[in-house]
Structure 1
Amino acid sequence: MQWEELTIVSANEVRAAIENILVEEGAEGLRSEDLQQKNSDRIKMSGYFLSTKKVAARIPAIKTRIEDLRKFGLNPGKLTIEIESLGDSQWSDEWRKYYHVRRVTRYLTIVPSWEQYQKKQSDEKVIKLDPGKAFGTGTHPTTVLALRALEETIRGDEKVIDVGTGSGVLSIAARALGVKEINAFDIEEDALLSARKNIKLNPFATNIKVDLNNLLSGISYKADLIVANVLPEVLLELLPQIPSHLEVGGCFIASGIILAKKDAVKEAVLEQGLTIKQIATDQKWVSIIARKTVGEE
C-alpha cells in the first residue's frame, strides 16, 4: 500500500486549524513537530494520505483554506507545503520515531505495542496500541479529551456505544475503566481491522463487539453511555440520533471539536434536549459531556 506525506510549515497559532483541515481532507494520521529556530514560533504538521486519494491535486485548495484563516483573526505566517510518497515500511518507520509511551490521563497510559513498559502505580491502567494505518495513536488532543471525559463519566457496569471507533482506543479504555459491554462502530473496514487488532493486544478488553455501521443507523438498542470522537460535521449528523439511543440518565461524550466550532456543536446538543454537564478544552480542541435527563423522549 502506498502513502503520501503532506507536510505543512506555518505559525504555531494555527496548529489546531491545520489539523482540522488535514482530517477533513482525508488524512488517516497526523504528526506535528515544533521547529526550534531562533525567535521562531513555527510548527511542522504532516498528514498521511492513501495515494489513491490523490492529495497532490488538493494542495491549492488546502493552501487557500489555510490562508483564509486570516479572515478569522489567525495568522498562518509564511506557509510552505510539500508532498512525499511513502511505502508501508516507511510509514511504519515514521510512526515509530514519534510514537512513545504517554500517560494521557490520571489513570490511563498508552503504550506502543513494540515498547516494554511497567506500571508506575497500582491503579494505573495500561493500554497497548498499534497505530497500524493511523486510525489513532491515542495521544491526539481530541482523543485525550475523550479519554478524560470517560474517566469523569464512567461509574462501572455501563453499556457503551462507541461511534467512529477508529483504533478502538476509546472502547478499550472504557473497558479498562469498568464498563460492562461495548458496541463499537465505524464506516471504514480498515478501521475495524485496526480496532480488532488493538483489542487483542489488551487481554482485559473483553465484551467489545466491533461492527461496520454508519453512525447509529439501524441500531435499535440503547446505551448508558455513547462516545464519539469525530469531526464536528459528523457530530452534527449524529446528534439527532442520540436521544433515542441513550437511556434516561445516560451520557453522551462528544470530542473532535475544533474550538471555532464549539458553539455550533453546543447549540446542536441543546437542541436535542440534552443537558450539558461539562465542556473541556485545551484551548484548541473541545469535548462536551451531556446527559439525557428524566422526561426526555
Structure 2
Amino acid sequence: MKWSEISIHTTNEAIEPISNILHEAGASGVVIEDPFELSKERVDRFGEIYQLNPDDYPDEGVIIKAYIPINSFLGETVEEIKDAINNLILFNIDIGKNSVTISEVNEEEWATAWKKYYNPVKISERFTIVPTWEDYTPVSSDELIIELDPGMAFGTGTHPTTVMCVQALERTVKKGDECIDVGTGTGVLSIAAAMLGSSKVTALDLDEVAVHSAILNIKLNKVNDVVSVAQNNLLDGISEQVDIVVANILAEVILRFTDDVAKVVKPGGYFIASGIIGQKKQQVKEAIEQVDFTIQETLVMEDWVAFIARKN
C-alpha cells in the first residue's frame, strides 16, 4: 500500500486543532516537528542523551505530519483538510504560514522510518535498551543489555513509565523471586525481571499483537526458560501468589484491579505500579494503601509517577 504524507507548516497554537482535523480525516496519528525540542533541557540521568538533528526541524513555527492511504478519495480528503484548517481563523486561532505539502510514501519506508530515532539508551544503573538492528558494546562488566524490537506493540522501553519500572525492579527483585508483569507490551519488564534473577516470570497482556511481540523479544534475550507469555485480562483467573506484581498501565486500570493484586502478592511482597499521570497520583496511592500495602517509594519522571508498594 502507498501512503500520502501531508505536511502542514503552522504554529504551536494550532497544533491541537489541526491534529484533531487530521485524526477526523483518517490519520491514525501525527508527527510534530517543533524546534523547541532542540533547546529543551533534559535531565542527563545516566550519561546518554540522543542528539536531535536541527535539519529535521523548521526555523520557526512547527510542522505537523500525518499519513493517509492513497485512494480515489484522497484529493477530496486533502481539500477538506485545507478548508478545515483555514476555518480555524474564524475561531481566532493563528495558523501561521499554513503551507500544506503532499508527498507519496511507500508502506515499507513509512513502517521503518521511525527506526532512525531509536538508538541504544541507558535507562538505569544497570540496564541499556538496544534495538535489534544496532551494534552496541557494553561499557561496564555489570551492564545488562536488553535487545528490543518493538514491532507493532507499544513501547520502545525508553518511556518514563517503563524506565521507572525497570529502576523499581532493580531495587526489589531478589534471586529466586517469582513475578507477574501485567500489560507486558513488548515484554521489556519481564525480561528485566528475569535478568535480575527471578526464577519465574509470567507476562500477561490482553492485546494479541503485544503477546506476539513479547514472545519474540523474550526469545531474542534468551530468557524464555524463565518467562512465559499469555493473553489475559489483567489478573483475571490468576490464583498463584508471587513476590512481585509489576504493572505499567493507565491509572484508571490500576484502580480497577488493586483488590486482585492484594490477593496475588505474598505478604512482604511488592506491587510496582506505573503509568500514572501526576493528577491521579493521590487517588492511586490511596487505592493501593486501602488493600493493605505501604508505599515505600514514589518515583517521579517528567509528568509521570510510579509507586513501589510493599504488602503488610
1:119 pairs, out of 115, 138, 142, with: 138
TM-score, normalised with respect to structure 2: 0.70
Q: Distance in 2 between matches of 1:153 and 1:7?
A: 46
1:253 pairs, out of 255, 272, 294, with: 272
Query: Which residue type is aligned with residue 35 of structure 1?
Result: P
**What are the Cα deviations for residues 186-239 of structure 1, in whole angstroms up to 9, with x where unaligned?**
001110000011111112453111001100111111110000000111111121
The residue correspondences of 1:194-233 to structure 2 (distance < 5 A) are 194-233=213-252
The residue correspondences of 1:66-85 to structure 2 (distance < 5 A) are none
2:191 pairs, out of 169, 172, 175, with: 172
1:236 aligns with 255
**Matched pairs, number:** 255
Unpaired stretches in structure 1, ≥5 consecutive residues: 12-26, 51-55, 57-76
Seen in structure 2, the aligned counterparts of structure 1 residues 30 and 203 have a Cα distance that, compared at 3 Å, is farther
Q: Quick one: percent identity of the two aligned structures?
A: 44
**What are the Cα deviations for residues 168-197 of structure 1, in whole angstroms up to 9, with x where unaligned?**
000001111111110111001110000011
Contact 2:248 2:273 in 1 (8 A): yes
1:105 pairs, out of 97, 113, 124, with: 124
Seen in structure 2, the aligned counterparts of structure 1 residues 215 and 111 have a Cα distance that, compared at 3 Å, is same
The residue correspondences of 1:9-158 to structure 2 (distance < 5 A) are 35-36=35-36, 88-158=107-177
Structure 1 range deviating more: 244-253 or 129-138? 129-138
Query: Which residue type is aligned with residue 211 of structure 1?
Result: A
- SS of the aligned residue for 1:289 comes to strand
**What are the Cα deviations for residues 147-174 of structure 1, in whole angstroms up to 9, with x where unaligned?**
1111111122100000000000000011
Seen in structure 2, the aligned counterparts of structure 1 residues 209 and 29 have a Cα distance that, compared at 3 Å, is farther
Q: Distance in 2 between matches of 1:238 and 1:3?
A: 41
Q: Give the alignment's Cα RMSD to 1 decimal.
A: 4.0
Structure 1 range deviating more: 38-47 or 119-128? 38-47
Seen in structure 2, the aligned counterparts of structure 1 residues 40 and 259 have a Cα distance that, compared at 3 Å, is closer
1:273 aligns with 292
Structure 1 range deviating more: 180-189 or 89-98? 89-98
- SS of the aligned residue for 1:115 comes to coil
Contact 2:160 2:302 in 1 (8 A): no
TM-score, normalised with respect to structure 1: 0.73
- SS of the aligned residue for 1:243 comes to helix
* Larger Rg over CA atoms: 2
Unpaired stretches in structure 2, ≥5 consecutive residues: 13-26, 42-60, 70-76, 78-92
* Structure 1 moving runs of 4+ over 3 Å: 1-11, 27-34, 36-50, 77-80, 82-88
Q: What's the offset of the Cα at 1:272?
A: 1.1
1:161 pairs, out of 180, 187, 200, with: 180
